Structure 1
Amino acid sequence: MSIMLTADGHFGHAAIARLSGRPFSDRDATAMNEHLIAAWNARVRPGDDVWHLGDFALNLKPAQLREIFDRLNGTKRLCRGNHDHEATLALPWAEPPRDLVEVAMDGRRWVLSHYPMRAWRGSMGSAIHCYGHVHNLMAPTRQSLDVGVDAWDLQPVSLGEIIARLERSEIEPEEQRLVREKRGGPVDEG
C-alpha cells in the first residue's frame, strides 16, 4: 500500500484550465476530467490511500460528482478546501472531511491542509506541511510544499517524491529563519 497526496483537482471546473494554465478548453471540463481520472488511476492502485487536500470539484451535479469519485482508485480522504461544498463533503470519504490533519506517515509527522501556513505545530522541528490552494505559485521550502495537481504534472504524488522535492529546496521555512535571525544567528542569503 502506498500513500499519495494531491489537491486542487477542480473536477468540473472548466475555467481552472485558463486560470492555472492547464492544457484544456476553459469551456468544457470533460477532457480535463478524463485526463485527471486517468492520471490519478495510473499512479494510485485500489489499495492505496489518497489524501486530497481540497478543491476536489466545482460545478458538478451530485450524480456527476459521485460518478467521478467512484472511478478514482484508492481509499480517499479529504481536507476541506474553499470550493468543497455540500455535495463534495457528502461523498463516501474514508473518514469525515476535516480542515486540518496531523498524522504520522512513513515514520514522519505531517500537517495537511488546503491552505499554506507560515507556521504549524512541529514547524520548528521536522514536521512536514503539505497544502494546495495556490496552484503552483509558491516555491517549496525545506519543510512545506504544494501537492496540488498543478505542481505535479496533473497527478497525485507519493510521500517519497515529496521528500525528494523538499530536500532539493534551498528555502528555509520562514518561522525557523525569523527565530534564527532574532537569536542573532547567521542570515541565509537564499
Structure 2
Amino acid sequence: MAIWFTADTHCGQGGIIRMCERPFHDVIEIDVALIGAWNAKVRPGDHVWHLGDFALGHDADTLREIFDGLHGTEFLVKGNHDTDEVLALPWARPPEKPVEIAADAVRIVACHDPVRAWGALGRTLHLHGHTHRPVPDPKGSCDVGVDSWGYAPSRIADVRTRLVGVTLDAEERREIRRRD
C-alpha cells in the first residue's frame, strides 16, 4: 500500500482554469484529466490524503460519481472551498483540519493552508495545498496541490526529492532558535 498526497483539485470549478492557468477548456475536461492522472498513479489499495478543496460547483450526485471513480481509500483535510456536499462524501474517516499522521516513517503535519512556522518545525514534514504554488517551498514544507504535481497525487519520496537543496529561510531559523 502506498500513501499519496494531493490538494486543490477543485473539481467542477470552472474559474480555477483561468485563475491557475490550467490547460483545460471546461470542467468536464479538467475532471476527466484529474481522475485519469489520479488513477494512473494510485492503486485501489492505496491511501490518498486530499488536503482540501476537493470540489466546488458540482451537485451531490456528480460529486459522488467523481469520488467513486477514484482509486484508493480517500481521506480529507478540510479546505476553505469544501462544501457540505464534499464533507458528506464517504471519506475513510471524518474530514478534519489539521491532522498529524505518519507516512514512510515521516511525521507529517497536514493542513490545507501553509503554516510557515510551527512548533514541530525541523521534526516533521508540513504538507499543504491552497497556494497553488505561487511561492517557493521552504525547507520542511511542501505544497502538494495538483497545480504543482502535474495534476496528480505525490508520495513522500517525491516531496523529499523536490525539497533536496532547499535551505532553511530566516523565519524558519528564528523559529527553531526560539523553540530550542
Q: Normalising TM by the smaller chain, what interval?
A: over 0.9
Residue in structure 1 matched with residue 56 of structure 2 by the alignment: 58
Indicate the percent of aligned positions where both proteins have the same amino acid. Answer: 47
CA contact (8 A) 2:116 2:172 kept: no
Q: TM-score, normalised by structure 1?
A: 0.89
2:109 pairs, out of 103, 108, 111, with 111
1:126 is paired with a residue whose SS is coil
What residue ranges of structure 2 are gaps of 5+ in the alignment?
none
Residue in structure 1 matched with residue 9 of structure 2 by the alignment: 9
1:154 pairs, out of 151, 154, 176, with 151
Residue 173 of structure 2 corresponds to residue 177 of structure 1: yes
- Cα distance in 2 for partners of 1:70, 1:174 equals 44
Deviation at 1:164, TM superposition (A): 1.1
Q: How many residues align?
A: 178
1:42 pairs, out of 19, 40, 43, with 40
1:50 is paired with a residue whose SS is strand
Residue in structure 1 matched with residue 24 of structure 2 by the alignment: 24
2:108 is paired with a residue whose SS is strand
What residue ranges of structure 1 are gaps of 5+ in the alignment?
183-190
For the aligned residue pairs, the C-alpha RMSD in angstroms reads 1.5
Deviation at 1:163, TM superposition (A): 1.1
- Cα distance in 2 for partners of 1:148, 1:59 equals 19
Deviation at 1:50, TM superposition (A): 0.2
Larger Rg: 1
Q: TM-score, normalised by structure 2?
A: 0.94
Residue in structure 1 matched with residue 98 of structure 2 by the alignment: 100
